[in-house]
Amino acid sequence: MTTQVSLAGALNRALGDALAEDPTVLVFGEDVGALGGVFRVTDGLAARFGEQRVFDTPLAESGIVGTAIGMAMNGLRPVVEMQFDAFAYPAFEQITSHLAKLRNRTRGRVGLPVVIRVPYGGGIGGVEHHCDSSEAYYTHTPGLRVVTPGTPDDAYRLLRDSIASPDPVIFLEPKRRYWSKGALESGAPVGFDRALVRRPGRDVTLIAYGPMVATALETAEAAREEGWDVEVVDLRSLSPFDDETVCASVVKTGRAVVVHEASGFGGYGAEVVARVTERCFHHLHAPVLRVTGFDIPYPPPKLEEHHLPSVDRILDAIARLQWDDRVVGSYGA
């Protein structure tokens, strides 16, 4: 049995189910109470569970995360919202110096089951500080799990898994996909740290995550007209990384393109390219390419459509994958 729901609605349902099943779960952050969050992800939860379990905080991200750390040390499971990606930076010291390190520092005696929800990425016409792609900061920090859903079904599953995890989780929510709808599946759960093949193909692997999953799937359909059969892999878990699923796909197709919104230089895609190259080198027919945001500060709303990877930019990258004498469509050989 399946149910159609928006990505934001799936997150709301996951939070509600977790609050109902586990009295140690708390949800708090800026405007998550009566307002229901700036994107309405927590809509109705304060009225349903009361202000002791779903409540607003002062506008102080460092204080929000610091409070969550103290709560987790004393047996609670806080789920906090940063409201916007670039708003999280004042809390970065708490996250990297304490949240990520306490289990190691105490030789495993103290765990911190904290989930930090971060709406991230572009596509909504947000002004400065309201759109950013900060995933590489978190994935570079040992001790943190970093996950990002690309579909409503994954939004529900991954958030439930994150709340149940004994480790701290950075939960990156693609804000441009909050209103996209999809089915909530009732089948067997997918591993928390596993990638998924969203679309099988034989010619080239598109590796994407979060907001770019839908763009990759759109590209795969457009590529059919050019004669390419494109496989799409949704990473889901950025850290830890599912080498097995990704490399199996690349070994099969022999070509790969990594797609993400963040700037290319030092971006998360560089790690993916390195891992794929190290493990699949003798199966590759061409270098692994990246399609990313440009190496600039995030642009203003009127220009962001040029910054975000598009179907045409991804098709251009596919065309550069050394197809030898095979001429495919209008995008090259």
Residues marked active site are found at 130
Tokens of 87: 């708003």
Strand 145-147 and strand 204-208: the pairing is: unpaired
Question: 3-class SS at 71?
Answer: helix
Q: Which residues of 257-292 are buried (b: 16+ CB within 10 A; e: fewer)?
A: bbbbbbbbeebbbebbbebbeeebeeebebebbbbb
d(CA 242, CA 157): 17
Q: Where are the alpha helices (DSSP H) in the chain?
A: 7-21, 45-49, 61-73, 92-94, 102-105, 135-139, 152-164, 212-224, 243-253, 268-280, 304-307, 311-319
Is residue 1 exposed (0-12), middle (13-18) or buried (19+ Cβ within 10 Å)?
A: exposed
Q: Phi, psi at residue 115, to the nearest 5°?
A: -110, 125
Tell me the C-alpha to C-alpha distance, in Å, between residue 250 and each of 204, 239, 314: 7, 19, 17
Q: Record the tokens describing residue 85, joined without a space.
A: 């990606």
Q: Which residues contact 192 (CB under 8 A, 6 or more apart)?
A: 145, 147, 158, 161, 162, 165, 237
Q: How many CB atoms lie within 10 A of CB 205?
A: 28
